[in-house]
Structure 1
Amino acid sequence: MVKVNGADLDLAGKTVSAYLETTDYDPRRIAVERNGDIVLKSQYDVTVLEDGDRLEIVSFVGGG
């Protein structure tokens, strides 16, 4: 299981990119942290999630 923003999901073996494609997140407006380290957008396609990983996904919202 991979914990994503506090929820346990069965994502082991999938890439960050593959997971994001199943969500409503706009990859241009988010930051992804894996086990305390920022995942560069250029690495989404090659970062394979493992059992026990913790992802935090933060969306950026414009406003003023």
Structure 2
Amino acid sequence: MTQPVPTAVPGSEPEAGSVPGSESVPVSVSASVSVSVSVSESVSVSVNGEGRTVPAGTSLDTLVAQLTTAPSGVAAAVNEAVVPRGRWSATTLTEGDRVEVLTAVQGG
């Protein structure tokens, strides 16, 4: 048994890439992408050699305020780099940071 071969309509030229006698059907394709972001509510840091958990986003000045009664005479370093007092509020602690808070004492 043979099947008829589609033929073009007389007087019309098929579009490039189309099969004569076929019709094009619009096709709509959609995709859905799901993104999952995990945000930790706390980070683990080392403060003067002891493990400590602080809220995510904690700045160095907040940590120093929790550890000392007055920040005068206090120096702080994060990951062995001294952080100038003027940068404490802009220094956000991140997971695994090693913080050293040193207080000057008077004596002789």
**TM-score per shorter chain, which class?**
0.7 to 0.9
Unpaired runs of at least 5, structure 2: 1-43
Match of 2:81 among 27, 37, 44: 37
Identity of aligned residues (%): 30
Normalized per residue, the structure richer in strand is: 1
Aligned length: 64
Partner of 1:24: 68
Normalized per residue, the structure richer in helix is: 1
CA distance in 1, matches of 2:83, 2:47: 14
CA distance in 2, matches of 1:50, 1:39: 15
Deviation at 1:25, TM superposition (A): 4.6
Unpaired runs of at least 5, structure 1: none
Structure 1 residues 25 and 38: CA distance shift in structure 2, 3 A: farther
Root mean square deviation of aligned Cα: 1.3
TM-score, with length taken from structure 1: 0.87
Greater RCO (CA < 8 Å, at least 6 residues apart): 1
| Greater than 3 Å deviation, 4+ residue runs | none
